[in-house]
Every structure is written in C-alpha cells, then in structure tokens.
Amino acid sequence: MHIDLRTVTITPLRHTFDHVARRLGADKPASRYQEGTYDMQATANFHYRPTWDPDHEIFDASRSAIRMADWYTFKDPRQFYYGAYTMARARQQDTAESNFDFVESRGLAEAMSPELVRTVLDQLMPLRHVAWGANMNNASVCAYGYGTAFTQPCIFQAMDNLGIAQYLTRMGLLLGDQEALDAGRKAWLEDDRWQGLRRYVEDTFVLKDPFELFVAQNVALDGLMYPLVFETIVDDVFASQGGTAVAMLTQFMTEWSAETRKWLDATMKTAAAESDENRALLEEWTRKWRDRAAAALTPVATIALGAKADEVVGEVTEQFNKRLAKAGLAL
Amino acid sequence: MDMKVAKKKLGLKERYSHMTRGLGWDTSYQSMDDVYPYAKYEGIKIHDWDKWEDPFRLTMDAYWKYQAEKEKKLYAIIDAYNQNNGHLSVTDARYLNTVKLFLTGVSPLEYMAHRGFAHAGRSFPGAGPRIACLMQSLDELRHAQTQVHAISNYNKHYNGFHEFRHMHDRVWYLSVPKSFFDDAVTAGPFEFMVAIGFSFEYVLTNLLFVPFVSGAAYNGDMGTMTFGFSAQSDEARHMTLGLEVIKFILEQDPDNLPIVQRWIDKWTWRGYRVLALVAMMQDYMLPKRTMSWKEAWEVYFEENGGALFKDLARYGIKMPECAKTIALEKDHLSHQTWGTFYNYGAAAAFHTWVPDEDEMNWLSAKYPSSFDKYYRPRLEYWREQAAQGNRFYNKTLPMLCTTCQIPMLFTEPGDPTKTCYRETTFKGEKYHFCSDHCKKIFDDEPEKYVQSWLPVHQIYQGNCFPEGTDPTAEGFDPLAAVLQYYHLEFGRDNLDFEGSEDQKNFDAWRGMATRNT
C-alpha cells in the first residue's frame, strides 16, 4: 500500500554544481561520491612553486610518466568518499572486534601448539613493518599524485595499511607478547630471509613517480603478498594445522585485499586503456616490480611453506598475471 | 604440566607506542636522507624524534568507529534538513551569502589541508607526528566533503554556489584564501605545521571556523551548523597536534627558536589578513549577529591568545609584533572590507547591500569610536544614491598587495583617513604592500612572492578572458569577459541583494511554505 505524505514542492534551479554537470554531460542529480570527488583538487593559477620541489607546480600531472587527458576518468567502483569509506570500515572493524573477542574468550590462542604459534609469529610479525611501509607509500601517492579521483582512495589505502599494521600488532600481543613484536622487528632488520623484502620496501620509498609507486606497492607487492600470506598460508596452511584462530584474526586483511583489488584493477584498466604508451609503461613497471616482489617473498614464504615456497609463489604469480590480464595488461 | 604465565599487562601508552612508532625503522638499503628528503632543508634541528609526545592515542579501529558514528548522524540530519526545505527557515535570504563565501573561500582550503597534511605526514622521519598528520589529512578530506554535501542543497536553489571550485582558482578576492594556503603548502613541512597546525588551527580557528558555524546556528542554518558541530571533535584533535608540534620543535634545539618565531609572526599576520573576509561576514552579512568582529578578536585572540603566548614564553616565544597593528585596526577592518565589496559588487559572486537602520545602530553600539564618525555617513550616502537609481558599482581595478593580495584598502595604523601604502624594489621591479607586515614577509622571501598570481595584474595582462577572446574587437567589454572567465553569471550571482533572484525566490518559496495562496 502506498501512503502519500505531502511536502511543499519547490522546483530547484539546478541539480548539481556546474563542474559536476559538465562531467555528467547534463544538469542532473549527482551522487555524493561525484560531488565530493570531481574537480576537488585545484588545477589552475597556483601562486608559488613548492620550495621542496621547484621543478613542479603544487599539483602537477607531470610528476608521473603516465599521461591522462583527464584524470577524472578514474572511478572508484566502491564509490568511496570519506563517509562511505569510514562506514564500510567501521562495519569491518566490528567484525574484527568480535573475532578478537571470540579468540580471546574461548582461549583459542592457547589451543594452538607452541610450534605453530612460533611459525605464525615468525611469518606474520615482520609484516607489521611492511604494512607501515605501505602506509608511507600511499601517503606519497596521495600527496604527489594528480586529481582527487586518483589520490583520494590512496589516503584511504594508507590508513587501511596502518590499520592492518595495528591489527597485526594486536595479534602479536595476543598470541605472544611484546617479545613477539621485538623478535619480528629484529627479523625484519637482520634475518636474511626478510632482507630482500625490506630492500624492496626501502627502494619503493625513493620512487618519485606516484603512479609507478602505486604499481610497485599496491599492485605488485600487495597483489602477491596478500594472496600468498593471508589467502594461502593463513587460510590453508595454518588452518590445517589447528590455527583457524589466525584466520579469524586476519579476516580483515583477506576481505580488505579482495575489496581493494576491485579499485586497483579498475585504476590499472583505465590508465592502460588511455593509450598504448600508458599500457606499455604499466606492463613494464608491473613486470619489473612483480618479479622483484616474487623474488623477495619466496624466502619469506619458506617460514611456513618450507621447500614448497617456490611453487606456491609461482602459483600466486600466475593468478596475478591472469588478474592483470583482465585489466588489459599482458605480463 | 605447563603453568600458564599471566601476560604482562601493557599500559595504554606502551600499547599505543607498539601500534605506532614501533612500526617504523631506520632504513639502511636507502639512506634516511633519501627516504625523507624534505626533513632538513628548512634548518630545523631534530635530535630525537622519540621525544615526541603523542597528543592523543587513537588507533585506526577506534578512529573508524567514532568517525562512522558521526558521519551517520551528520548525513541523517542533512537529509532531513533538505527534505524538509530547511533552507526556507534561515533568518533571511541575505544569510545565504555567508554560506557562498564559505563554500567558495574556505571549503577548497579544507581540501588543500588534506593534501598538505598527506605531504607533511610523508615527510617527517618520526613515526608519531607522521601518523598524527595522516589522520588529520583524512579528517580534512572529511571536512571538505561534508561541507560540499551539506551546501549542495543550497546550490540547487540559489545562485553563487554553482562554480565554487572553478571560482576559487580564479576570482579576485578568492586569491586571498587561495594564496594563503598555496603559501603554506609550498613551504617546507615544518613551516606548514607551524602555519596550519599551529597558527591557523590553534591560534585562529576560533576566529574562522567558529564564527561561520555560530552564525549558521544563529541564523537557522541547520545544515552548516551540523557539519560544524560534527567537525568539532576533529578540530580539538587538530588543535592539540598544532600545539604539540610547536613545543616539540622548540624543545629539540635552541637554534629552532628564531626560525619558529619568524614563522609564527608571518602566519599570524597572513591568517589575520584572510580573516578580513570573516570580519565583514560577522558585522555585515549575518542577519542575526552572534558577536562583532572586534569582540571576537578581543576574546579569542587578545584574551585566549594572550594566555597561550604567556605559556609559550618559557620557550622564548613572544607575542607577534603584528598584534599591535591588529589592535589598531579592529575598529575599522570589517567596515573597510565591506565597503570595498559593496564597491566591487558587480565582480563578486555573492550579493552586497547597505545595512538597514537597525543594523547600523547595532554597528554604532559595537563600534562607538569609529562607525558613526567614519563609516555610517558613507553607507547612508550609498543608500541615498541607490534609492535614486544610482547604485554605485566600481568598474576600475584596484591595486593589490603583493603578499596578502587584498586590494590596498586598509588605512594607516592609527589614522583611518589615510590609505596605507608600502613598497619595495626587487631586481628593478617595484612591489606594493598594504602594511609593514606584508612588506616584511615579502622582503624575507622575495623569490617566493614575486611568483604571486595577482588577479588584477593577470587581468591587465589579458590572462583572464575566456579562450578565444579578441580584446581588440570592437565593443570589447573587459569586465564582461573577466566575469565569463570566472563563470560568474551576470545579474544572477552578483550585484545588490535588493532585486536579486535569490531574494525573489526565497520570498516566493517561503510564501508557498507558510501561506495558502
């Protein structure tokens, strides 16, 4: 049944802001994602050059070798503006909180064998620092990238990376103690198995092209690491050894990585579809950083996988290639 | 049997430390100088980043939770306000011009703050301040977007809002707030933190953000009021960060003191000049006044700011010199600024008007030493002229101050009958200033300020006409061409409030909402 509540009806003069209407092709109602994103970044008449980078304007598309006729061609399929983003994460945070409570209240951590706990901590604790590096890199892309449609999801990504580092920290404190964090840190700084990965992360810190950094961090490294560590090692290997609790404590990471991939793939697809030059460049960067990431992750994966690490990294890489093929990249 | 050893319970501070600074490390495959290339060039010396005291201990899970709660409430109120045609419950349609000024002048700055804090948050080698900056970066994006969303419904019904982004980068008076923030972002990360984190967020926020939000509350604008109140707890965090930054820098090395003092002097003045727009808003544009500019300055700067600088005296920080000049201007600032906008009302994207008799009496009471003597006669003359059909619109272009970019409208400190002019010569070119303080800022960094994109100069150079304009064509109207370049619709966005489309529509719609005919 329909009930007809009456309100005074006023015919509006326009439906959205003019710059949004130009992008929609007509004056029609726009979403909050569109009004909060389109043209939010200044593009003209900058007053001064940055004293920290006098070769560029404050916002300058030429910081990247990727060329776009319009940087607002990028669209976040999740349609995340601040409100939508925080509400989505708050829901996930709720789940994570119950998972931590569940594991703690049922004593599930104590139910795991000490050997398994040690492997879990050895495998996962140094990743706190990898996630921290990801936070720095996404802050860079947000600061030095061009156009809100491209940069806005990167501040979300940066804060997610920080959140992940903090979930890992909580897990370390739950399964071990601060010694577990210290041991992870020591391994990150000194253990040979981690040095390839640390070198990778530090090398990305000095990348100047925001789009290449985006590829090296979000597409290549996280694109291999999350499927390898959270979907394979945690969900399959640890779970089969009585470590389902670990999967519960890292559920956020698994879901997050599946969700963010939609945005990453859409971004790669849009940039590659723009021109042959872009595609060639993205393929070159993705290949280069994929190979380095795979090589750096293999010794890390031996912690849980032993001799099978090579094979599993190979499988994950193959999946990765298929995934990027859908975005139009031949790797 | 193994005895389960009870875990050492971590203190809040220790736990938070693992969640933040414990994540960072000193790089060795790349040098720290390459990883943090902008950390040293300003001359600020930091010896121990671990001495940073985290001013608030907020982990991401808690952040998402609190912020999402606030967002849910905020958008529910905005939706209800819009659905209910809340815009018709504002005091009168002149009020909307305040919101136009806010959206075109301030909201784009919130966005700049978002990117600026991302840059600062990437630049500091210390993990503690980096995280605090990145959280602020995210908050500032929130502020920019909630403002656009809350004001979006006004844009559907009134003029002057429709091209806020385009105008911010082009329109003459908007170059004042724009150049202010461009200046901060192009400075190094430490200066940015002193400029925005401390001077703007801590010292001046009560004079910028608060008057707009209180004005909204007083004038029935629940949309603007709600985002203001919703941002309050974010602002409290930002203020705490701003103060912590100053203390941290000063405690690290005595050599930092003169640098920081120079920045505080500069940014107090830069910020104050932007506040000229707020002063006129408070005294002239709010139909229902909250407090006068002068009262606001006395409470929020002279009293509260005075206490702050007393507190900072133990670090050797002194009250900025410019406070004396500002005290001399406080009886004149809003009147001189509004007078200028009334003059240039054809080139502004909001409406101007002469205050009515009640409002003039309020101004007399609030400014007993200046209003009746200097400003009332001029307003009465303009009112008289307008009544005779001679509403005055100034069609010449004013000289601008190279630093703050405001037309040279201010008078000599202590003599409201004489316009204040200062000039300096740099590499054979002459530059003009509105005050000793703006001149000093230029003289300290001339290489930076010669780059200023001064709207009047740009118009004269032919850079502010739509593409394809031929200024040599017969009948070429430069003002009309400039307004087209601004995307400012002549007769709708500009001119006097009296007779405007906003005025007519508001009256008609309010009639529909409150009467039966």
Q: What is the DSSP string of B408-431?
A: S-PEETTEEEEE--EEEEETTEEE
Residue A314 — left, alpha, or beta (φ > 0 → left; ψ -120 to 50 → alpha)?
A: alpha
Q: Best residue in B20, B54, B69, B115 to probe A by mutation, most A CBs within 10 Å?
A: B115
Which residue reads 């802050």 in tokens? A139
Chain A contact set for B449 (CB, 8 A) = 48
Position A8 scores a pLDDT of: 72
Chain A contact set for B112 (CB, 8 A) = 42
Q: Does residue B190 surpass a pLDDT of 50?
A: yes
Sequence-separated (6 or more) residues with CB below 8 Å from residue B46: B39, B125, B126, B249, B252, B253
Quote the tokens at residue B258: 């003169």
Residue B404 — left, alpha, or beta (φ > 0 → left; ψ -120 to 50 → alpha)?
A: alpha
Sequence-separated (6 or more) residues with CB below 8 Å from residue B371: B335, B360, B363, B364
Quote the tokens at residue A21: 């209407």
Nearest to B353 by CA among B498, B161, B158, B500: B498
Name which of A291-305, B50-64, B100-114 the model is least confident about. B50-64
Task: Supply the DSSP symbol for B298.
Answer: I
Do A7 and B85 count as a contact with CB atoms less than 8 A apart? Answer: yes
Q: Does residue B9 surpass a pLDDT of 80?
A: no
Q: How confident is residue B55, by pLDDT bands cut at 50, 70 and 90?
A: confident
Position A146 scores a pLDDT of: 98
Any idea where the domains of chain B sit in the sequence? 49-332
Q: Best residue in A48, A146, A173 to probe B by mutation, most B CBs within 10 Å?
A: A48
- Which spans in B275-395 are helix H? 276-280, 293-296, 306-312, 322-329, 333-343, 357-366, 376-387
Name which of A160-169, A213-222, B391-400 the model is least confident about. B391-400
State ipTM: 0.97
Beta-bridged to residue B412, according to DSSP, are B415
Residue of B nearest to A166 (CA): B19
Task: Supply the DSSP symbol for A217.
Answer: I
Q: Does residue B513 surpass a pLDDT of 80?
A: no
Convert the pLDDT of each residue in B115-126 to its tens digit: 999 999 999 999
Position A33 scores a pLDDT of: 98
Which residue reads 């700084």 in tokens? A189
Chain B contact set for A46 (CB, 8 A) = 182, 453
Query: ∠ CA(B94), CA(B100), CA(B105), 5° rounding?
Result: 140
Do A165 and B23 count as a contact with CB atoms less than 8 A apart? Answer: yes
Position B1 scores a pLDDT of: 40
Shortest distance, CA A326 to any CA of chain B (angstroms)? 32
- Please tell me if residue A36 touches chain B, with a CB cutoff of 8 Å: yes
Residues B288-311 have a mean pLDDT of: 94
Q: Rounded to whole angstroms, what are the CA distances from B136 to A93, A262, B196, B211?
A: 20, 27, 11, 22
What is the radius of gyration, based on Cα positions, of chain B? 25
Residue of B nearest to A162 (CA): B60
Q: How confident is residue A247, by pLDDT bands cut at 50, 70 and 90?
A: very high
Convert the pLDDT of each residue in A49-99 to its tens digit: 999 999 999 999 999 999 999 999 999 999 999 999 999 999 999 999 999
- Please tell me if residue A103 touches chain B, with a CB cutoff of 8 Å: no
- The number of C-beta contacts closer than 8 angstroms across A and B is 245
Q: Cβ–Cβ contacts within 10 Å for residue A193, how many?
A: 17
Q: What three-state secondary structure class fits B400?
A: strand
Q: Decide the pairing of beta strands B422-426 and B429-433.
A: antiparallel
CA–CA dist A282, A216 (Å, integer): 10
Distance of CA B103 to the CA centre of its chain: 11
- Please tell me if residue A100 touches chain B, with a CB cutoff of 8 Å: no
Shortest distance, CA B234 to any CA of chain A (angstroms)? 14
Nearest to B109 by CA among B242, B229, B209, B224: B209
Do A12 and B156 count as a contact with CB atoms less than 8 A apart? Answer: yes
3-state DSSP of A41-109:
CCCCCCCCCCCCCCCCCCCCHHHCCCCCCCHHHCCCCCCCCHHHHHHHHHHHHHHHHHHHHHHHHCCHH
Position B8 scores a pLDDT of: 64
Nearest to B503 by CA among B93, B87, B99: B93
Q: Best residue in A142, A150, A179 to probe B by mutation, most B CBs within 10 Å?
A: A142
Which residue reads 């002193």 in tokens? B194
Q: Does residue B517 surpass a pLDDT of 70?
A: no
Q: Decide the pairing of beta strands B411-412 and B429-433.
A: unpaired
Convert the pLDDT of each residue in B405-437 to its tens digit: 999 999 999 999 999 999 999 999 999 999 999
Convert the pLDDT of each residue in A149-178 to its tens digit: 999 999 999 999 999 999 999 999 999 999
**Cα torsion A26, A27, A32, A35: sign:** positive
Q: Does residue B2 surpass a pLDDT of 70?
A: no
Give the number of residues written for chain A.
331
Q: Does residue B202 surpass a pLDDT of 90?
A: no
Give the number of residues written for chain B.
517
Do A90 and B65 count as a contact with CB atoms less than 8 A apart? Answer: yes
Quote the tokens at residue A220: 């290549």
Residue of B nearest to A147 (CA): B115
Q: How many CA atoms lie within 13 A of B223 on its CB side?
A: 26
Name which of A29-33, B67-71, B300-304, B350-354 the model is least confident about. B300-304
Chain A contact set for B8 (CB, 8 A) = 177-178
Is residue A47 within 8 A of residue B178, CB to CB? The reply is yes
Quote the tokens at residue B365: 């009471």
Is residue A255 within 8 A of residue A316, CB to CB? The reply is no
Quote the tokens at residue A209: 């092209």
**Cα torsion B475, B478, B482, B488: sign:** negative
Is residue B191 within 8 A of residue B198, CB to CB? The reply is no
Q: How many CA atoms lie within 13 A of A97 on its CB side?
A: 11
Do A83 and B145 count as a contact with CB atoms less than 8 A apart? Answer: yes
Q: Does residue A226 surpass a pLDDT of 50?
A: yes
CA–CA dist B203, A168 (Å, integer): 38
Q: Inter-axis angle of helices A251-274 and A276-305, to 10 degrees?
A: 160
Do B7 and A17 count as a contact with CB atoms less than 8 A apart? Answer: no
Shortest distance, CA A119 to any CA of chain B (angstroms)? 20
Residues B307-323 have a mean pLDDT of: 96
Quote the tokens at residue A79: 């349609």
Nearest to A328 by CA among A287, A277, A270, A288: A270
Q: Rounded to whole angstroms, what are the CA distances from A135 to A156, B300, B502?
A: 10, 37, 47
Position B274 scores a pLDDT of: 96
B106 φ/ψ angles, rounded to the nearest 5 degrees: -105, -45
Is residue B287 within 8 A of residue B95, CB to CB? The reply is yes
Shortest distance, CA B225 to any CA of chain A (angstroms)? 18
- Which A positions 151-190 lie with beta carbon below 8 A of chain B? 151-152, 155-156, 158-160, 162-163, 165-167, 169-170, 173, 177-178, 181, 185, 188-189
Shortest distance, CA B117 to any CA of chain A (angstroms)? 8
pTM of the model: 0.97
Q: Does residue B4 surpass a pLDDT of 60?
A: no
Is residue A141 within 8 A of residue B113, CB to CB? The reply is no
CA–CA dist A296, A37 (Å, integer): 37
Do A87 and B152 count as a contact with CB atoms less than 8 A apart? Answer: no
Is residue A21 within 8 A of residue A14, CB to CB? The reply is yes
Shortest distance, CA A143 to any CA of chain B (angstroms)? 5
Is residue B141 within 8 A of residue B107, CB to CB? The reply is no
Question: What CATH class is the domain B49-332?
Answer: mainly alpha
Q: How confident is residue B3, by pLDDT bands cut at 50, 70 and 90?
A: very low
Q: How confident is residue B10, by pLDDT bands cut at 50, 70 and 90?
A: confident
Position B7 scores a pLDDT of: 64
Position A295 scores a pLDDT of: 98
For chain A, the farthest-separated pair of C-alpha atoms sits apart, in whole angstroms, at 73
Q: How confident is residue B317, by pLDDT bands cut at 50, 70 and 90?
A: very high
Q: Rounded to whole angstroms, what are the CA distances from B222 to A241, B151, B179, B294, B504?
A: 57, 11, 30, 26, 22
Shortest distance, CA A145 to any CA of chain B (angstroms)? 10
Do B157 and A89 count as a contact with CB atoms less than 8 A apart? Answer: no
Nearest to B289 by CA among B349, B373, B355, B348: B355
The domains of chain A, with CATH numbers, are 80-325 (1.10.620.20)
Chain A contact set for B441 (CB, 8 A) = none
Name which of A303-307, B155-159, B175-179, B204-208 the model is least confident about. B204-208
Of B85, B152, B178, which is closest to A35 when you measure between CB atoms?
B152
Do B61 and A144 count as a contact with CB atoms less than 8 A apart? Answer: no
Task: Supply the DSSP symbol for B354.
Answer: -
Residues A112-136 have a mean pLDDT of: 98
**Cα torsion B410, B413, B416, B422: sign:** negative
Nearest to B161 by CA among B107, B220, B231, B111: B107
Shortest distance, CA B416 to any CA of chain A (angstroms)? 31
Q: Does residue A1 surpass a pLDDT of 80?
A: no
